[in-house]
Amino acid sequence: SQTIHQWPATLVQPVGSPLSLECTVEGTSNPNLYWYRQAAGRGLQLLFYSVGIGQISSEVPQNLSASRPQDRQFILSSKKLLLSDSGFYLCAWSVFGRGPESGANVLTFGAGSRLTVL
């Protein structure tokens, strides 16, 4: 079966410090990978998605970046955090397909990383 791991679960960082959140998926090959952010009391905002190694699409301009060094590894980074970067960061994966009958297309989320920037 497939599992998704995301870490760290919580972190508190000062403004201007760097950030690295990591996500790995097990039990599947060539997944689509996603990073979402959810500010307190708000909806999910798609930050990045990737359909393959080295292929990253950015949905919103920001001081964050993403990388996919391996097929099942997705990393979210920042060189200098801003107060507005605080939020709940969620990694997710899916398999490209045409419907959920076989499990394809359904987004499965990691447990999330709660970031507080002070």
Partner 1 sequence: GQNIDQPTEMTATEGAIVQINCTYQTSGFNGLFWYQQHAGEAPTFLSYNVLDGLEEKGRFSSFLSRSKGYSYLLLKELQMKDSASYLCAPDYNYGQNFVFGPGTRLSVLP
Residues of this chain that bind partner 1 (CB under 8 A): 32, 34, 36, 42-44, 46, 49, 51, 57, 59, 88, 90, 92, 94-100, 104-112
Nearest to partner 1 of 32, 86 (CB atom): 32
Instruction: Enter the DSSP assignment of 114.
Output: E
Parallel, antiparallel or unpaired: strands 113-117 and 10-13: parallel
**Minimum CB distance to partner 1, residue 80 (Å):** 27
Full DSSP string of 35-69: EEEE-TT--EEEEEEEEETTEEEESS-SSEEEEEE
Cα 1 to Cα 103: distance, rounded to the nearest angstrom: 11
In this structure, are residues 48 and 23 in contact, taking their beta carbons and an 8 Å threshold?
A: no
Nearest to partner 1 of 14, 43 (CB atom): 43
**Minimum CB distance to partner 1, residue 11 (Å):** 16
**Minimum CB distance to partner 1, residue 29 (Å):** 16
Nearest to partner 1 of 18, 100 (CB atom): 100
**Minimum CB distance to partner 1, residue 15 (Å):** 24
